[in-house]
Amino acid sequence: MRIAIVGGGIAGALLALRLTRAPRPAEVDLFLGEATSSRDASRASGGMVRGFEPDPAAAREAAESLAEIRGSATLREWSGYRETGSVYVPARGAGTADSLKIVDHLLPGSATLVDRAVLAREHRLRNLPDRAIGVVERHAGHISPHRLRTAVLAELARTNAVLHLTKVRQVTDDPAVRTAGGATLRYDAVVVAAGAWTPRLLADSGLPGESLRSKQVQYSVCQAGLDDLRPFVEGNSGLYGRWMRPGAFLLGLPSDRWDVDPDEISRDRALTEKVVTHAERLFGVPVRAVRTVASFDCYRDPPGLALRPLGTAGRLYTFTGGSGGAAKTAVAASRTAADALL
């Protein structure tokens, strides 16, 4: 098969690698497009990885991805995986039993359910709702999605894959790719994995957007005296964070800026102030934002990075919609997508 992938982020790069390493490999053209942007999602991502997610399907992909990274010396090196453990406090009313079974199967002995008192005493998470619980994982931590993407692109350059720097203007369900230079290139299948640029590319191509929307993603590098804190998610407020270096901690909250132009992103100062307020309440220590990073991603309802058919011919697809969490699931999702394509 001759397959074109539009988008050189972590999703598109890993999918290309899977396709070129299959028992009967595809001929892959990878259009890097906006991958050179200094603020694309793969470059800006905090890269937190763990097995647990409240949704069992998301937990399976996250746990499968983490298990593959931990089991591969190459992936650990490429991604810069650092195992620190993690803590997840599900939102009130969210179930945990099914997801915990999945995590325990794929990452045996990693996850433990703890109560509110343990969260406060051992993990510094205070002022939580009554009867709050937490999932503590040993086999979790963070990666660098940009480092993984860069290593995968270097590996692809040593294969028969063709890497294109030219931008794609349109895609068609013939399927074909139309470049900014005016060329029309036809393939057996075309996959749009352009992240936050996907809705705009589909609109320019006269194709439906499949409920895909771009959304701002933002976090702040803070000074907070939290060097002993594991990566965490507090599901009731949405606050998340991880240690970055001595004296610096990454902290963030979900943004409400939808349908943003990836080329015109600006920092949301009100959101930065909200992060500081929430963090001071949660940890009971002074927090100061030193630097704020504004980026973007492609969101979908329901969320999840997956291969989805688009158009009428059945040979045009999207591979996006990770909704801010693609770093956790891209390794497993790319394998599933490659299997489906081939």
pLDDT score of 36: 52
Rounded to the nearest integer, the mean pLDDT of the chain is: 93
| Residue owning tokens 């929307």 | 213
pLDDT in tens, 258-282: 999 988 889 999 999 999 999 999 9
pLDDT in tens, 136-166: 999 999 999 999 999 999 999 998 899 999 8
Within-domain flag for 30? yes
Beta carbons within 10 angstroms of residue 121's beta carbon: 12
Within-domain flag for 322? yes
In single-letter form, the type of residue at position 279 comes to: A
Within-domain flag for 129? no
Beta carbons within 10 angstroms of residue 38's beta carbon: 7
Within-domain flag for 130? no
Contacts of 62 (CB under 8 A, 6+ apart): 49, 50, 51, 52, 53, 325, 328, 329, 332
Q: Comparing C-alpha atoms, which of 9, 29, 14 is closest to residue 179? A: 29
d(CA 46, CA 143): 8
The residue segments making up the domain with residue 206 are 1-47+144-212+300-342
Q: Phi then psi for 244, rounded to 5 degrees?
A: -110, -50
pLDDT in tens, 113-127: 999 999 999 999 999
Q: What is the mean pLDDT of residues 294-306?
A: 92
User: How far does the chain reach from its first CA to its final CA, in angstroms?
Assistant: 8
| pLDDT of 35 strictly over 60 | no
d(CA 243, CA 226): 7
In b/e form, how buried is each residue of 274-283, taking b as 16+ CB within 10 angstroms? ebbebbeebb
pLDDT score of 33: 76
CB of 299 within 8 A of CB of 323?
A: yes
Within-domain flag for 200? yes
pLDDT score of 57: 94
pLDDT in tens, 63-114: 999 999 999 999 999 999 999 999 999 998 888 999 999 999 999 999 999 9
Q: Phi then psi for 36, rounded to 5 degrees?
A: -85, -5
Within-domain flag for 85? no
Question: Which residues are bridge partners to 70 per DSSP?
Answer: none
CB of 34 within 8 A of CB of 40?
A: yes
Tokens of 41: 């999602």
Confidence of residue 38 (pLDDT cuts 50, 70, 90): low
| Residue owning tokens 């902290």 | 251
pLDDT in tens, 226-262: 887 889 999 999 999 998 888 889 999 999 999 999 8
Within-domain flag for 339? yes
Contacts of 183 (CB under 8 A, 6+ apart): none
| pLDDT of 37 strictly over 70 | no
Radius of gyration of the chain (CA): 20
Domain count of the chain?
1
d(CA 171, CA 184): 9
pLDDT in tens, 319-333: 999 988 889 999 999
Within-domain flag for 127? no
d(CA 58, CA 104): 14
Confidence of residue 294 (pLDDT cuts 50, 70, 90): very high
Which domain CATH number covers 328?
A: 3.50.50.60
